[in-house]
Amino acid sequence: MPAKLLRDFLDRNEIRYVTITHSPAYTAQGIAASAHIPGRELAKTVMVKLDGNLAMAVLPASRKVDLDHLRQVSGAQRAELCEESEFKDAFPGCEVGAMPPFGNLYGMEVYAEESLEQDEEIAFNAGTHTELFRMNYADFKRLVQPKVLEFSTSF
């Protein structure tokens, strides 16, 4: 089960969450529509390289990463989007493109868009293209300890 690592981690930390099963969807906006969640409430994980190191940029599905701004606010010299081939093996048990925003479980930095803090809850892929987890944003922030920055723009 792809979500087992995350589920075990949340259970060990006594975090309340719900799972949402939806029809297969492969884009953040498609997932939001399939799960009946507003795009601003669904967090998507975008894989980036900052100075050559894999990192997660977590932002609302209704927004896109501004790489130049992410580079500036993260202090990196270079910021670029990753190709799937560069990160597909970094998330055992997860479908490519459906990894949860818990980089701490995979040994990588997480950058969370500050606009995510506007909602009490966060929903995100749970390792497949058919399942989401929804939990309190404060719990997410406490467990993941992301660097919270402003680095996105509207579509």
Domain ranges of the chain: 4-145
Q: For residue 10, how far is the Cα from the chain centroid?
A: 15
* Distance in angstroms (rounded) separating the CA atoms of residues 19 and 77: 38
What's the pLDDT tens digit per position in 44-75? 999 999 999 999 999 999 999 999 999 999 99
User: Which homologous superfamily does the CATH classification assign to the domain defined by 4-145?
Assistant: YbaK/aminoacyl-tRNA synthetase-associated domain (3.90.960.10)
Q: Look up the pTM and report it.
A: 0.95
What's the pLDDT tens digit per position in 15-44? 999 999 999 999 988 898 888 888 888 999
Candidates 56, 58, 63, 66; CA nearest to 123 is 58
